[in-house]
């Protein structure tokens, strides 16, 4: 964590990993590493490209990141 404001970046990463664990890993209980790696890749694609996020006005993270949609600013 170097640089101003970098500690706040960790909040988003921690939230993502928590979501990943509760929505995929804990439910499926992988026993084979190859199976887990494949499923993690599929989950990350689904999370970024398909799954809508309420904090992003029901848009996908990819849509927001690549500027395909504009979020409304809340004062």
DSSP 70: -
Report the chain (75 residues): mean pLDDT per 10 consecutive residues. 63 87 94 95 94 89 90 71
Report domain extents, the chain: 6-65
Q: For position 36, what pLDDT does the model report? A: 95
Determine if the pTM surpasses 0.75: no
CB 59 within 8 A of CB 69: yes
Query: 53: which strand partners?
Result: 59
Give Cα 38 distance to the centre of its chain.
Answer: 16
Q: For position 10, what pLDDT does the model report? A: 79
DSSP 66: T
């Amino acid at each position: 964590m170097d640089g101003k404001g970098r500690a706040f970046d960790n909040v988003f990463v921690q939230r993502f990993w928590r979501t990943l664990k509760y929505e995929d890993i804990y439910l499926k209980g992988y026993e084979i590493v190859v199976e887990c790696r494949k499923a993690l890749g599929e989950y990350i694609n689904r999370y970024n490209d398909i799954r809508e996020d309420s904090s992003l006005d029901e848009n996908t993270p990819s849509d927001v990141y690549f500027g395909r949609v504009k979020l409304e600013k809340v004062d």
